[in-house]
């Protein structure tokens, strides 16, 4: 039976909730036993309190300091310590645990992922933005602390499972699959009128709002190409993207001898989470089974960079190196949130990213430095200010 002492950062979100549900299912099936050290959430106090009542962590944290009273009240009599604010989230991340799930969304998850990376725990990383902002330094930090980083993003989990970790020279290419999002077949002219409701309605995956918008613009696949480059030490030229609308093949590794290995599964985040939770072992849980005969066929097509310019921008940012990926990420986050707030049109998301990249000079972030996280966050703030001013300019012109 799998036993783990676990902390979940971002436990109230889509990945966080799936993580706790998976643990619950494994306990019910008698295949896992979990002790929860800390849980952190945001404004959804009701969900955080419900999770804390179920799992009895030592500490439950809301990132929002104005909600501490509410959380304390909701947890009264449970013996669970309540705390609030960014400092408390970091305190939760550094508490002793075997396994820490980093599932906060956006660059807001960087400091806590960085903190957990220094503890020697296994870091299950869903927060792709922290890898994009600080990948090489974060990976080094986990290694130095004696911990291990396991990717949770389904594509990277797939590659991780079929990658020859002891013989990386055997790899010719990584191939990331992309669902193509809800607008895979939408003509460019129709994209300008897309609403937030249409953009967050993903055909295959149920996810948080920001990543759903990223999926619709395909900035998500751009972020994932950068993530893959850092995780598997691969240059941009050796990372391909193929659109695969069924989301059954989660990614592939092409070897030098022409053999290509893939990982398959139904599009359910609990499978890559289970892989990260048990690695290098495997855990049984009541997973839905893949029935290839019932599916009948799997299809593939090339991505269209004309309709989805974020793909090209991400590749260019990766090739430019230095802090360009941080700028890409910050501008994309600002633009995606402005779109969700109806302050920016769908096609202008990529326009804001392109403009921010051209205005903010890419400086290097020393990947070996112990304050690489602070350095990345300084670039992140600068790029955010620039992107916000571009968004305001576009809104004023509209
Ligand atoms: P979500 O929006 O559903 O949840 C985000 C979590 O972060 C919530 O618990 C929220 O309270 C917390 N949070 C938000 N802002 C915060 C802040 N400033 N400080 C502290 N906590 C904060 O997001 P999600 O879809 O679960 O995605 C989480 C991460 O996992 C993202 O980086 C996303 O790209 C990645 N990811 C998600 C999926 C998916 O299927 N949802 C798949 C692959 C990767
Ligand atoms: Mg993914």
Q: Report pLDDT digits (tens) over 204-243.
A: 888 999 999 999 999 999 999 999 999 999 999 999 999 9
pLDDT digits (tens, 9 = 90+) for 76-95: 999 999 999 999 999 999 99
393 labeled part of a ligand binding site: no
- 369 has pLDDT over 90: no
- Domain residue ranges of the chain, discontinuous segments joined by +: 2-151, 154-265+289-319, 321-398
Assess if CATH 3.40.50.720 describes domain 2-151: yes
Q: Which two tokens stand for residue 8?
A: 């979940």
66 labeled part of a ligand binding site: no
| pLDDT for the residue numbered 202 | 82
15 labeled part of a ligand binding site: yes
Q: Whose CA is nearest to atom 31 of ligand 1?
A: 105
| pLDDT for the residue numbered 362 | 67
| pLDDT for the residue numbered 206 | 82
Cα 322 to Cα 320: distance, rounded to the nearest angstrom:
7
Q: Is the CB of 14 inside a 6 Å radius of any atom of ligand 1?
A: yes
CATH number for 321-398 (one of 1.10.10.60, 1.10.1740.10, 1.10.3080.10, 3.40.50.300): it is 1.10.1740.10
- 367 has pLDDT over 80: no
The answer to whether the predicted template modeling score (pTM) of the entire model surpasses 0.95 is: yes
Q: Whose CA is nearest to atom 4 of ligand 1?
A: 13
Q: Is the CB of 129 inside a 6 Å radius of any atom of ligand 1?
A: yes
| pLDDT for the residue numbered 368 | 60
Nearest residue to 173 via CA among 258, 248, 250, 272: 258
Q: Is the CB of 57 inside a 6 Å radius of any atom of ligand 1?
A: no
Contact 52, 60 (CB under 8 A): yes
Burial of residue 263 (CB within 10 Å: 0-12, 13-18, 19+) is buried
What's the mean pLDDT in 169-192?
A: 96
Alpha carbon of 70 to ligand 2 centroid (Å)? 34
3-state class (DSSP) for residue 12: coil
Taking the CA of residue 15 as reference, the ligand 1 atom at the shortest distance is 26
Alpha carbon of 255 to ligand 1 centroid (Å)? 33
Helix axes 324-340, 372-397, angle to 10 degrees: 40
Q: Is the CB of 13 inside a 6 Å radius of any atom of ligand 1?
A: yes
Spell out a b/e string for 60-81, using b for 16 or more CB atoms within 10 Å of the CB, else e. bbbbbeebbebbbebbeeeebe
Alpha carbon of 105 to ligand 2 centroid (Å)? 13
Nearest residue to 208 via CA among 379, 333, 372: 333
From 18, 43, 50, 105, give the residue whose CB has the most ligand 1 atoms within 8 Å, as the site to mutate: 105
Cα 96 to Cα 116: distance, rounded to the nearest angstrom:
9
Taking the CA of residue 214 as reference, the ligand 1 atom at the shortest distance is 34
112 labeled part of a ligand binding site: no
166 labeled part of a ligand binding site: no
Q: Is the CB of 19 inside a 6 Å radius of any atom of ligand 1?
A: no
Ligand showing the shortest atom-to-Cα distance for residue 61:
1
pLDDT digits (tens, 9 = 90+) for 248-274: 999 999 999 999 999 999 999 999 999
């Amino acid at each position: 039976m799998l036993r783990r002492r676990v902390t979940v950062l971002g436990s109230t979100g889509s990945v966080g909730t799936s993580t706790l549900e998976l643990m619950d299912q494994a306990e019910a099936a008698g295949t896992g036993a979990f002790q929860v050290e800390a849980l952190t959430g945001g404004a959804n106090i009701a969900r955080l309190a419900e999770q804390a009542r179920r799992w009895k962590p030592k500490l439950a944290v809301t990132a929002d300091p104005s909600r501490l009273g509410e959380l304390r009240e909701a947890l009264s009599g449970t013996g669970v310590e309540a705390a609030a604010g960014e400092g408390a989230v970091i305190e939760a991340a550094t508490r002793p645990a075997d396994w820490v799930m980093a599932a906060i969304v956006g660059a807001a998850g960087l400091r806590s992922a960085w903190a957990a990376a220094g503890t020697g725990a296994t870091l299950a990383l869903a927060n792709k933005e922290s890898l994009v902002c600080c990948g090489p330094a974060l990976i080094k930090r986990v290694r130095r602390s004696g911990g291990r980083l396991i990717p949770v993003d389904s594509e990277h989990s797939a590659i991780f499972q079929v990658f020859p970790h002891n013989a990386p020279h055997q790899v010719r290419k990584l191939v990331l699959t992309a669902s193509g999002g809800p607008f895979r077949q939408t003509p460019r002219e129709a994209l300008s009128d897309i609403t937030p409701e249409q953009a967050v309605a993903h055909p295959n995956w149920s996810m948080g709002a920001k990543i759903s918008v990223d999926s619709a613009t395909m900035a998500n696949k751009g972020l994932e190409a950068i993530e893959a480059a850092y995780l598997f030490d691969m240059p941009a030229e050796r990372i391909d993207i193929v659109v695969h609308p069924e989301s059954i093949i989660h990614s592939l590794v092409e070897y030098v001898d022409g053999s290509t290995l893939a990982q398959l599964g139904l599009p359910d985040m609990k499978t890559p989470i289970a892989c990260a939770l048990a690695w290098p072992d495997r855990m049984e849980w009541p997973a839905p089974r893949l029935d290839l005969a019932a599916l009948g066929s799997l299809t593939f097509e090339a991505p269209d960079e004309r309709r989805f310019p974020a793909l090209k921008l991400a590749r260019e940012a990766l090739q430019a190196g230095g802090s360009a990926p941080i700028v890409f990420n910050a501008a994309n986050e600002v633009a995606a949130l402005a779109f969700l707030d109806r302050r920016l049109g769908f096609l202008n998301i990529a326009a804001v990213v392109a403009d921010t990249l051209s205005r903010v000079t890419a400086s290097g972030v020393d990947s070996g430095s112990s304050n690489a996280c602070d350095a990345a966050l300084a670039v992140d703030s600068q790029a955010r200010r620039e992107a916000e001013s571009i968004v305001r300019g576009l809104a004023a012109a509209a």
